[in-house]
Amino acid sequence: MQRILLIVSGSVAAYKALEFARLARKAGFSVTGLLTAAGARFVTEHALAAITGGPVFRDLWSLEDEVQAGHIRLARDHAAIVAAPASADLIAKMAAGLADDLATTVLLATTRPVLVAPAMNPTMWAHPATVANVATLRARGVAFAGPAAGEMAEPESGVGRLIEPPLLLDAVRALLADGPLAGRHALVTSGPTLEAIDPVRFIGNRSSGRQGHAIAAALAGLGARVTLVSGPVSIPDPPGARVVRVESAREMLAACEAALPADVAVCAAAVADWRPAAAAESKIKKAAGGSPSAILLTENPDILAVLAAEGPKRPRLVVGFAAETEDVLANAQAKRARKGCDWILANDVSAGVFGAEDNAVTLVTEAGAEPWPRMAKEEVARRLAGRIAEALA
């Protein structure tokens, strides 16, 4: 049983730490609670102790605990340290190397992996000081999970929400490489591709990357080493994945080929089928009289077909997506046969799936079609990751 030290700092999202602790224990982890003074303003020591099933640590100056070098023991006797929620204040103290309470002393004394799950107002998250602090901690090897975008406790919205407890648990599993996909390499594509017309215009699509990013997080949560090749998106990087950022379809293909070999490839990106044959080097001016200029298009490389082609580097399992607006199942079945991939997830995008929080897909395999009910994209990702783990077992 792996032991996790859970540091709960001051944030209204601290109540989610209790749910995370419950899920982690259910998944087989042992959880030790550590409350900061500010964290104790939002959840009680008794509540955290009841959920973790053990004592909660709070005081750096406790004679009972420190007679046995309690802060060193907490820093070294756990497989990982998880700060969730991690306030802007805690992140700043970590970056500065301060050790003025039990939490920061433990974080300074540990040699174990550290995972930080930020939670704060979007303006605080975007502040240059926080951006610099996060960059400093990342450079030191500290892992981050989130924050997510959405509504805040105050009447504002933006990036700053603590990620949901199941995703945080996925991030912990990825950090510890613990799960049925441990030792496996997963390649995932996500988001749109943008094909330049000139320096200021492009051909693109409405993909948000939410489904592909969720799949990357779910695979990492099962222990896989994940390479995520992503087009331009505005959502945070998924926890546990190495992200390669690209713009065009040709850049995405090159990044995918560079990431091989892989045990599984999941092509969830919405790749543009066509691109301008030649991108103008300067902005195209409006023609006299207002008549539009014609743009000659050429076909983009078919990334799914390339990855599914037989060869020494073909992943054992290749999974594609079929975003359709009509005859969804028939088109998906034809696409699976045409591309040569093993599975296709068919989804109807006529109802505004791009950017939405949920999805309804049908898993198409050689054995037939299996419709899944509409569910959150994160749940689609977890179900798919579970099926992938079964197939690679």
CA 77 → CA 4, 74, 94, 385, distances in Å?
Answer: 9, 6, 20, 31
205 is a catalytic site residue = yes
Among candidate residues 121, 133, 205, 300, the one labeled active-site is: 205
- 3-state secondary structure (DSSP) of residue 345: strand
Distance CA 100, CA 83 (A): 16
252-258 long-range Cβ contacts below 8 angstroms, 24+ apart:
252/189, 252/193, 252/303, 253/301, 253/303, 253/306, 255/229, 256/187, 256/189, 256/229, 256/303, 256/306, 256/307, 257/306
How many CA atoms does the CB half-sphere of 32 hold within 13 Å? 22
Distance CA 133, CA 95 (A): 5
> By C-alpha distance, which of 186, 233, 245 is closest to 207?
233
CA 275 → CA 205, 285, 287, 348, distances in Å?
Answer: 12, 19, 22, 24
The structure tokens 């995008």 sit at 349
CB contact at 8 A, 155 and 195? no
Distance CA 275, CA 284 (A): 16
CB contact at 8 A, 317 and 342? yes
Which amino acid would we find at residue 37? A
Give the residue ranges of DSSP H helices in 60-126.
Answer: 63-66, 70-76, 88-96, 102-109, 122-126
- Kindly provide the residue ranges of all beta strands, DSSP E only, lying in 135-284, ordered along the sequence: 143-144, 148-151, 157-161, 185-190, 195-196, 202-203, 225-230, 241-245, 264-267, 274-276
> By C-alpha distance, which of 320, 377, 383, 330 is closest to 354?
377
Report the catalytic residues.
205
